[in-house]
Structure 1
Amino acid sequence: MRTRGGRLAAVASLAASAALVLGGCGRINAGDTGTGDTSAAELGFKEYAGAVDYPSVTGPHNKGYVAPREGLRQLVPLGDCALGEGTFANGYRYVNVNWTGSDGCTKLSINPKPGADDETDVPYSMRSGWPGGGLPGDVVVPWDDGSLIGVGATLTRRAPNGEQFRLATLPLTFNTHPEQETADDASVNTAVKVGSGLLIGGGQTVDRVESPYVFASDDAGKTVRRVPLPPIDGRQPSTPVGDFGVNGKEVVAFGAAATNAYDFHSTGTIPFWRSADGGVHWTSGEITGMPPGTQVHSILYASDHWFAVGGYARAGAFYDSLPLVLTSQDGTHWTRMDTSAMGSGEITAATVDSAGHPVLVGSAPRPKSKPNTRTVLCSSIWVGNGTTTDWKRGGLGCSEDPPRTAVTLADGRVLIAGNRDLWLSRSPGPGRGHGS
């Protein structure tokens, strides 16, 4: 399993060491302070604390630990609930795991259950722990026939009966030895179904230079072909493709990180690409004047607009704690929204609810009372009302394991989850939308 976002993504996960208290909650409009205390329950969400199987080895004196960007990464609709994709800390390394939802979708259980391999006769330095299980891949894509396609270095199809079939292998070099930091490497960050085709996006590092890529498949992953991305000002940006958004045959992709994402320079640029024919041909562009620390985590189409959402840093800080929202009507001309009224929180997940409105989830670190304690993040949800500027905000509480992914289920309910807890909206309706 790879860390999404490419080689430098790990830098961002180390930055959240101290921070400010999360801003308030409530209904907010541009110009408001957003300092209410509304709970997500008032927006129709019910919390199920401890309802997610924790993706780490634990013990009597060890409550376990999951690094940022590991653990539960993605939810995809499956039956009446969802399948979770991510990693498990087995005591030696992170291995692939899946979560399956219960009846009612009020619990997510790791399936198959982690086991304890007998390695007593194996030297400690050669032990590898439980190997994981489930559908392998960094991203999972639901298919029309009820199957799921797991996309990683290799593509795998899981049939509706649970049987798995190996498909194509991406023609990239994936570094399987993380200690070799200068080796060539690749990451798979996003994959989507567009019409009858499959698009895969990420980044590859060759001779320490990272660049974006897109692969396409016309046969549900049996074969793949590389799709050229047009350069920007004669060169490819040094960031991977972070996410795709889809509206019919129109596809929008963004780079995962701006040029100032990791050095926190006062201003930076971030690339984007647009396709009007399902990913066959692309145009490119870039947005200048991005604030320090800019990263984009999710792209979605809602309320007749494109949204590219993520986070950025306060001036002088070296971690992202503020919401970034970019909007566009055509996928080509983008406007950065004033999100000061939204309060604190880097947006890490997004989906579109049954009414066609965007639902955003984010978190920001809470100040530490002691420097060597674990980071606690306070999380929020923002629900749009059909415009790009009017949001309702609710608090999701504070935790060492904040919510990281969201999806709209087949019945229209919205499911939000992290490595320990989940939240479920109470109002079902016709399902639709993008999940991350």
Structure 2
Amino acid sequence: MRTRGGGLTTMTSLATGAALALGGCGSTGTGGGTGDTSATALGFKHYAGAVDYPSTTGPHNAGYVAPGEGLRRLAPLGDCALGLGTFANGYRYVNVNWTGTEECTKFSITPNPAPDDATDVPGSMRGGWAGGGLTGDVVVPWDDGSLLAVGAAVTRRAPNGKQSQLATLPLTFNTHPEQETADDATVNTAVRVGARLLIGGGQTIDKAETPYVFASDDAGRTVRRVPLPAVDGLQPTTPVGDFGVNGTEVVAFGAAATNAFDFHSTGTIAVWHSTDSGSHWTSGEIAGTPPGTQVRRVLYASGQWVAVGGYARAGAFYDSLPLVLTSRDGTHWARMDTTAMGDGEITAATVDSSGHPVLVGSAARPKSKPDTRTVWCGAVWLGDATLSRWKRGGLGCSEDPPNAVALLADGRVLIAGNRDLWLS
């Protein structure tokens, strides 16, 4: 990897890992995997139908949630967690929260969705239920028992549930999605580093996208922009996708490689490293990444840095393989041979009570008919102390695969989708 900034010398680029083998949905291949098995064999209990489905039913919506919508994130809260995501109200997607029971075996939408009773309003002018709860693209648990949600602004949810708006990010957010050419900004990640809040994402101005980082040392009441150095003399065109934290050391990854939407060539992915809680950064890039590479999460687990996501196989947008990058120092990265992990893109991750990674993802099942909805086969991967072996468990196949995972206060791991829960 080549590094820039702070007078660091140039490093040689990493070679790409071995080519990955092909496999069917839910397969794990050979080697470090454990073969096809249910997640129950790995210690997870399945609670079918335990999540209130994030959709109304009626003339405008038949109880369907598009991929990427619904329950997106889990924020540990008390003995369980708060779910955050979107609800299909028959006209549009609105913000909602899910509240878990004390046992964390059922998640209910709170407040309850209200029926669309605007009978005197023309259908084209109706908006449906407006949603409710804590809003924000990412949520960070704070040490006083509160939650900080970050979107266009930082919102604090106190331990008693009361919400208050704090700083507003000095960015332009497009509130009219139909205007695709308008300037816009995205918030992709936020973390707590000691007493500091770091926020990362991207902004698009005049069709050009650039990454950003904001920092707050007063729990979100004010924010300031932190400069990110260029990568190899150029400004990356990918937003910051995720932060990883270990003490005062922080790693930030670009969300996608330069070839993320070009499935016929290799590309590079930007990475930044800080040793002082995000005050100053050095930059670098990982070269030779596979076509379609996207990084979803960055963790410090099993004594090393781990960045995970997926990449496209054979130029197929919905046919992905797991991506795992590892580093001992946050600057020199190697791509693992994930043949034994089977199919699927890793979309969520956490670290268990032993410090080992827990990864969640899914793979699209081949369609028997072209005009049917995509069915996704979910999976959980458990890493060991050296990341040399991965145990894979199946999480079933449906239109609503699991897409969120969190470590709870009591050490249990919770996996959630739009319908089901799994609890270790």
For the 8 Å contact 1:327–1:388, the answer to whether it is kept is no
Residues 327-381 of structure 1 show CA distances to partners (whole Å, capped at 9, x for unaligned) of 0001100000000111111001111111111011111100111001000011111
Residue identity matched to 1:270: I
> Which residue of structure 2 aligns with residue 289 of structure 1?
288
Residues 87-119 of structure 1 show CA distances to partners (whole Å, capped at 9, x for unaligned) of 111111111111111121011111111112432
Tell me how far 1:277 sits from its aligned partner.
Answer: 0.6
> Which residue of structure 1 aligns with residue 5 of structure 2?
none
For the 8 Å contact 1:308–1:327, the answer to whether it is kept is yes
Partner of 1:41, secondary structure, is: helix
Residue identity matched to 1:168: A
For the 8 Å contact 1:293–1:320, the answer to whether it is kept is no
Task: Tell me the percent identity.
Answer: 78
For the 8 Å contact 1:25–1:38, the answer to whether it is kept is no
Quick one: distance in 2 between partners of 1:20 and 1:343?
6
For the 8 Å contact 2:26–2:377, the answer to whether it is kept is no
> Which residue of structure 1 aligns with residue 187 of structure 2?
188
- Are residue 313 (structure 1) and residue 312 (structure 2) matched? yes
> Which residue of structure 1 aligns with residue 259 of structure 2?
260
TM-score of the pair, normalised by structure 1: 0.90
Quick one: distance in 2 between partners of 1:372 and 1:399?
16
Quick one: distance in 1 between partners of 2:267 and 2:45?
39
- Are residue 338 (structure 1) and residue 341 (structure 2) matched? no
> Which residue of structure 2 aligns with residue 269 of structure 1?
268
Tell me how far 1:406 sits from its aligned partner.
Answer: 0.4
1:24 to 21, 27, 37: 27
Partner of 2:313, secondary structure, is: coil
> Which residue of structure 2 aligns with residue 101 of structure 1?
100
Partner of 2:316, secondary structure, is: coil
Quick one: distance in 2 between partners of 1:37 and 1:326?
24
User: What are the ranges of 5 or more consecutive residues in structure 2 without an aligned counterpart?
Assistant: 1-21
Residue identity matched to 1:217: S
Quick one: distance in 2 between partners of 1:90 and 1:274?
42
Bigger CA drift: 235-244 or 330-339? 235-244
Within 5 Å, give how 1:7-46 maps onto structure 2: 21-25=24-28, 29-30=31-32, 34=33, 36-46=35-45
> Which residue of structure 2 aligns with residue 4 of structure 1?
none
- Are residue 159 (structure 1) and residue 162 (structure 2) matched? no
- Are residue 134 (structure 1) and residue 133 (structure 2) matched? yes
> Which residue of structure 2 aligns with residue 74 of structure 1?
73
Tell me how far 1:25 sits from its aligned partner.
Answer: 4.7
- Are residue 403 (structure 1) and residue 402 (structure 2) matched? yes
Q: Which runs of 4+ in 1 moved over 3 A?
A: 59-63
Residue identity matched to 2:169: L
Residues 246-288 of structure 1 show CA distances to partners (whole Å, capped at 9, x for unaligned) of 1111111111111111121320111011111111111111101
> Which residue of structure 1 aligns with residue 197 of structure 2?
198
Bigger CA drift: 393-402 or 35-44? 35-44
Tell me how far 1:385 sits from its aligned partner.
Answer: 1.2
Quick one: distance in 2 between partners of 1:250 and 1:326?
17
> Which residue of structure 2 aligns with residue 171 of structure 1?
170
Partner of 2:57, secondary structure, is: coil
Tell me how far 1:129 sits from its aligned partner.
Answer: 1.2
Tell me how far 1:63 sits from its aligned partner.
Answer: 4.2
For the 8 Å contact 2:308–2:324, the answer to whether it is kept is yes
TM-score of the pair, normalised by structure 2: 0.92
Within 5 Å, give how 1:219-230 maps onto structure 2: 219-230=218-229
For the 8 Å contact 2:24–2:342, the answer to whether it is kept is no
Partner of 2:385, secondary structure, is: coil
Quick one: distance in 1 between partners of 2:23 and 2:330?
34
> Which residue of structure 1 aligns with residue 113 of structure 2?
114
Residues 184-232 of structure 1 show CA distances to partners (whole Å, capped at 9, x for unaligned) of 0011111111100100011100000111111111111111101110011
Cα 1:226–1:320 change in 2 (3 A) is farther
User: What are the ranges of 5 or more consecutive residues in structure 1 without an aligned counterpart?
Assistant: 1-18, 426-436
Tell me how far 1:320 sits from its aligned partner.
Answer: 4.4
